[in-house]
Amino acid sequence: MKILIASPYAIYPDVPHGGGQDLMALIRYLQPRHRIRIAAFTDSTGAAHMRTLQSLVETTHVIQPAFTPAAKANRALQSMLNGRLPRRAEAEMRAVFAEGWADVVIAAWTQMGRFLPAVPPGTVRILDEVDVRFIVDEYAGHPQLAQRKQAELAACRSADLVIVRSTRDRDVLHTYLPHLHIRVVPPVAHVADYLSVPTAGCVPGRVLFVGAMDRVRNQRAVCWLTQAVMPHLEGAHLRIVGANPPTSVRALSATVTGYVPDLRVEYQAASVVVAPMQSEAGVLNKILDGLAAGRPVVATPVANAGIGAPPEAVRLAADPADFAAHIQTLLTDPVAWHAQACAGRAFIRQHHTWSAAIRALEEALCELV
């Protein structure tokens, strides 16, 4: 098959965010048997990163939105997320979708779904939601929720197949669109690699948070953790790992590492992994990776909403004191620590077999073509 994959972000082998890592895993899986082209909105830095894809794909089509200097960085990214791009950039991406080269077009992330109507008849149209965005918007109280939800459902209707990361997301979409063709493909992240992380090697008292630190929801999570949770703990030290931490995060009472090339080392050294998200964030790789690495995870209920891990695998608390109590128990009770670590790995092995899901997805694509 000839497959076009279009993304709102630069995609490259060392991409730091979970959705990009999933997409890279998909590209690597499909590349030996299919011809692949990539199109993406990005800047000059992202374009340089994408040149490393030359051995995996036929071509990369980079579209650099013509933002003014004052609109760059976070404001430019937010414009992409809200679907407000310069007309030139919109037209260029629409032309890529319409060119007719591909047998299959995969629009990665919800916001790329608006280009699917440009795909020529006879070409299979796939929308990879990554996370169902209106669920995240509802938790966040987004001011344009109704408009964005309507646009997202319209994008789903325009697709021949929709990919989601969890059965929860599938079931939510089916309440609105009962006949929608959906495949659940759980995040690959680093689950397969982390299942081999040794049980030994924990640093006593180390509490680990992992996430891209230029994302506001991660910044809010670690601020809540340091200010409301950590003061309740004895003998604990927080370690924040993730690319691009701003000054406000570096100023927190924690060790802040910035980008780390191999997270297996960080997970092995962790005593407890935390996901203290204050708003819905879909299927969180930080939880999946922690469970796969055999480390107990403490999370807020909204952090676990997209995964649905049982209480024996993930301890849940929204109240700061309760959250701290769970961490303290795991830091001081070896029996509880080992029981939860084993339950977490068992959950991952049972529910997150990416290889089987991706084979089924490829078969579905072949059937549609």
| Per-residue pLDDT reduced to its tens digit, 231-267 | 999 999 999 999 999 999 999 999 999 999 889 999 9
Return the beta strands (E) in 98-186 as ranges.
104-108, 124-130, 161-164, 182-184
Residue 132: strand pairing partners: none
Whether 86 and 213 map to the same domain: the answer is: no
Q: pLDDT over 70 for what percent of the chain?
A: 94
Burial group, residue 152, by CB count within 10 angstroms (0-12, 13-18, 19+): buried
CA torsion, ordered 286, 312, 182, 62, to nearest 10 deg = 0
Contact 293, 268 (CB under 8 A): yes
Residue 82 has pLDDT above 80, yes or no: no
Whether 66 and 125 map to the same domain: the answer is: yes
Whether 16 and 129 map to the same domain: the answer is: yes
Whether 180 and 199 map to the same domain: the answer is: no
Mean pLDDT of the chain: 90
Whether 324 and 337 map to the same domain: the answer is: yes
Whether 298 and 364 map to the same domain: the answer is: no
Side-chain half-sphere CA neighbours of 167 within 13 A = 5
**How far apart are the C-alpha atoms of 201 and 265, rounded to whole Å?**
9
- Residue 202 DSSP label: P
Whether 106 and 235 map to the same domain: the answer is: no
**How far apart are the C-alpha atoms of 20 and 109, rounded to whole Å?**
10
Structural domain count, the chain: 2
Residue that the structure tokens 């689950």 belong to:
191
Question: What pLDDT was estimated at residue 137?
Answer: 84
Range of the domain at 308: 191-351
- Residue 274 DSSP label: E
How do residues 308-344 score in pLDDT, each as one tens digit?
899 999 999 999 999 999 999 999 999 999 999 999 9
Whether 20 and 141 map to the same domain: the answer is: yes
Whether 336 and 221 map to the same domain: the answer is: yes
User: 189 pLDDT band (50/70/90 cuts)?
Assistant: low
